[in-house]
Amino acid sequence: MLCERVLEHNLAAQGYVIFHPQLESFETQIAAYLGAKTIISPDNSALHLAAFVGHSAQHIAVLLRRVQGAVDLLPQLSAFCECEPLIINAISQIWVQEGRAPANWGQYAELSSEKIYTTLLDHGFITTEHPWRHIGPWLIKKDLAMLHSKHGGAFTAS
């Protein structure tokens, strides 16, 4: 997803610990998921592990970065954790990078930070105590330019 660092900044200001499971051992991931009271995460493979060790007292919000991102995760999270995760579809645009293989590696979701903020606030995941930085078009362009510089290929909105 585009501008992930802005979302991380906003959540850190709310007191959340930013955790990148792909950089951690399985033991560390399991400990983090077991100890978490609240999890806010994009739809990703690491949530399958969270589902295995999660519990009904947890509050989980999943930010979709793929249109069908909840198809596999929602039933597993609901059944294994015995909780109903909040699914937030704030996708405003999918940007596709030409020439990436496999093709899904070149797809990036542009999310509405306003919709994420409102939904998390309405469901008690965040408070209004800390200002929320919204993602403007110039940040999207900056991220797309960085990805173009890193991987090449033009971007088109789909």
Strand partners, 87: 62
The mean predicted confidence, pLDDT, of the chain is: 90
Q: What is the tens place of the pLDDT at every residue in 47-72?
A: 888 988 988 899 999 999 987 777 77
CA 50 to chain centre: 14
In the chain the first and final C-alpha atoms are separated, in Å, by 14
Q: What radius of gyration, in Å, describes the C-alpha atoms of the chain?
A: 16
Task: Give the model's pLDDT for residue 103.
Answer: 66
Q: What is the tens place of the pLDDT at every residue in 87-131?
A: 999 999 999 988 877 667 788 999 999 999 999 999 999 999 988
